[in-house]
Structure 1
Amino acid sequence: MFTIITPEKRAGHTDELDQMYRMRYRIVVGEWKWDIPGIDFGYDKDQFDTDETVYVIVQNEAGDIVATSRLNPTMRPHMMSELFSDYCNLQPYPVGADVWECSRFVTDRSMLADPVEDFQVRCRLGLGLIVFCLDHGITRLSWLTHQKFYNLVQKVWVTEPLGLPRREGDNWAWIPAVSTIDRATLDRQLDRLRNAEAIVADYMAPKRAADDVRVA
């Protein structure tokens, strides 16, 4: 379903990590057009991919990585503390042994057959993050994301903003946030995976209705 790569397990997952960094570059630089200082061409590994970073990956049946995310302890320098502290204009970003930062939540939609599979892969990635947190006493995750994804996350994770939405010259309004992670979060995420087809059908219904009107 998912693989959690902790620092002590990296030696056994070097091929997967190499593929993951290349996949991230393909999406965040190639598709999303992010400008990430200091990374090599074709390889998204930056200063927040550290010796303490934990990765969650989801692979398809062929072994290709179709989704990934990373986790970093907030007791060390992390993206919120080093790059986005000024985004947190409602409350300070949280720091503590039980607070980690989630970043680089990435899926490769070109490798996913349809919206249901896309949704299921995202659910599995979220499950990996939650399971790691529950297993290691992590009660909150901080993260920076665009407003649309923030609105979706609130359906599963109890989440509050750290700052107001902020635009940076593109179509994405960025929001710093913190989410509570507990057993109820896991149960809700499992429910969404089990009901993926019905949930996606509800999401798609307005679009299909609009398409039907245009055709008529």
Structure 2
Amino acid sequence: MIHCLSNTPAASEHVVLRNMFEARKRVFIDLLRWDLPPLAGRFELDQFDNEAAMYIVLSDKHGAHRASARLLPTNRPHILDTLFPALCDEAIPRGPTTMEITRFCLERRSTATERREAKNELVHALVAFALANGIERYTGVADVSWLRQILTFGWRCRPLGVPRTVDGKTLGAMLIEIEEDTPTLLERGGVCAPAPARAPCGETNHVH
């Protein structure tokens, strides 16, 4: 199941968001050792998990987390312009048709094969969301090893500057152009996903 959720979910959606925040804690705090305080010892949230945030979440039929990403509007404070503006060697892309992908999270308890499949499905779901909602560009910040992978997915993606070392980690910023042929480009690049992930995803709808 693919869920496209705002940060003001209906009661039935709370379990999906709760499981996502728990998964983010397992990945970003427990595994990657990011210096972030867990909420109630179980959840990972930051100042950008506000009313403007959108979440694309993959779950099983019971709501268990498989993969997720957070989308932030770029016409208000977001990670690239607030925390890492030095990663851009040009003007930071912003505007109503540009969103930032953050907290791309694959379930730590899944197998390697399950994580690869979920990654592909989530990438296609992000593209479907963009195409359905008039989003023309995504920006993002990633460590250099993950950035190199993203650049090879087959879509129109380029660095926004030379990667730099920040707090001991080498990070880079990127810009992804989303067009009607982006799903086809991803498929040609080997990022394949089942048909539901390629279906349009409205802002508060579920795609099963």
TM-score range (shorter-chain normalised) is 0.7 to 0.9
Equivalent pair of 1:127/1:190 in contact (CA under 8 Å): no
2:116 maps to which of 114, 119, 138: 119
What is the alpha-carbon distance in structure 1 between the residues aligned to residue 42 and residue 70 of structure 2?
Answer: 18
Higher relative helix content: 1
Residue correspondence of structure 1 range 146-165 to structure 2 within 5 A: 146-155=143-152, 156-165=154-163
Q: 1:194 to 1:18 in 2, by over 3 A?
A: closer
Q: Which amino acid aligns with 2:192?
A: L
Farther-moved stretch of structure 1 (52-61 vs 139-148): 52-61
Change (3 A) 1:73 1:169: closer
Letter in 1 for 2:186: Q
Q: Deviations over 1:154-178 (max 9, x none)?
A: 23221121121112354x4210111
Q: Which has the larger radius of gyration?
A: 1
Secondary structure of 2:33's counterpart equals coil
TM-score by length of 2: 0.83
- Post-superposition Cα deviations, 1:97-144, rounded to whole Å, max 9, x if no partner, equal 0000100001123222xx332211001111111111111110000100
In structure 2, the CA distance between the partners of 1:194 and 1:5, relative to structure 1 (3 Å rule), is closer
SS in 1 for 2:176: strand
Gap change, CA 1:10 and 1:43, over 3 Å in 2: same
Q: How many residues align?
A: 191
Cα distance, 1:24–1:7 mapped onto 2, change above 3 Å: closer
Gaps (5+ residues) in structure 1?
Answer: 196-216
> Residue by residue, what CA displacement relative to the aligned partner does 1:55-78 show, whole Å, maximum 9, x if unpaired?
011123553102110001101111
Which residue of 169, 182, 185 corresponds with 1:185?
182
TM-score, normalised via structure 1 length: 0.80
Distance 1:6 1:190, change over 3 A: farther
Give, in angstroms, the shift of residue 188 of structure 1. Answer: 2.9
User: Distance between the aligned counterparts of 2:13 and 2:160, measured in 1?
Assistant: 35
Residue pair 1:67, 1:125 contacting (<8 A) in 2 also: yes
Structure 2 CA distance for partners of 1:194 and 1:108, relative to 1, 3 Å:
closer
Quote the residue 1:95 is aligned against: 94
Q: Which residue of 1 aligns with 2:63?
A: 63
Q: Percent identity?
A: 25
Residue 145 of structure 1 corresponds to 142
Q: Give me the CA root mean square deviation.
A: 2.2
Secondary structure of residue in 2 paired with 1:183: coil
Distance (Å, rounded) in 2 between the aligned partners of 1:48 and 1:169 = 20
Higher RCO, 1 vs 2 (CA within 8 Å, ≥6 residues apart):
2
CA–CA distance in structure 2, aligned partners of residues 177 and 10 of structure 1: 33
